[in-house]
Homo-oligomer: A and B are copies of this chain.
Amino acid sequence: MPTICKFEKALEILTGKWKPVILLRLFANGTMRFSEIQKAIPDINKKMLAQQLKELEHNDIVHREVYSQVPPKVEYSITAYGHSLHPVLQTLNDWGEGHVEHMSRLHGEETSTEAVDRPQTPVRKA
């Protein structure tokens, strides 16, 4: 059980199609209701949002506060422990920033930086 495991474990937390966006939103806004997050991230659907939040909650990154009232109200926020992620996010973001520049320098000046990766597995088309 080398270093890999820890490393991969850490990645598991940040990975997932919506984790990053959700996390950033919560880091920025502090506390948000379920519907607020949904509005903030139009392309996500309830199932995914709930699912990802659940995972983040399980990892003690996000806190879930339920208000027993009608209509229901649930607020999400970054836990104390979750804030320990901040430096990690920062590092990742800083490197990412330099990286996009590095890429444009290397390859074309495409501002899109899109469809450049993962060329393989050409999608079994009809």
A70 on the B face (CB < 8 A):
no
- Shortest Cβ gap from A109 to chain B (Å): 16
- Docked-complex contact A9 and B99, CB < 8 angstroms: yes
- Going nearest first, the 5 A-B pairs with the smallest beta carbon separation are A10-B96, A6-B96, A91-B91, A6-B97, A10-B92
Residue of B nearest to A121 (CB): B51
Q: Which residues of A contact B (CB under 8 A)?
A: 2-15, 20-21, 24, 51, 54-55, 58-60, 81, 84-85, 87-89, 91-93, 95-100, 102-103, 106, 113, 116-121
User: Which residues of chain B are within 8 angstroms of A3 by Cβ–Cβ distance?
Assistant: 24, 93
| List of B residues within 8 angstroms of A59 by Cβ | 99, 103, 117
List chain B residues, Cβ under 8 A from A96.
Answer: 5-11
Q: Which residues of B contact A6 (CB under 8 A)?
A: 93, 96-97, 99-100
Q: Name 8 A/B residue pairs within 8 A (Cβ), A-sorted.
A: A4-B24, A7-B24, A10-B92, A10-B95, A13-B99, A55-B117, A60-B106, A88-B92
When the two chains form their complex, are residues B89 and A88 in contact, meaning their CB atoms are under 8 A apart?
no
Residue among B9, B98, B117 making CB contact with A12, cutoff 8 Å:
B117
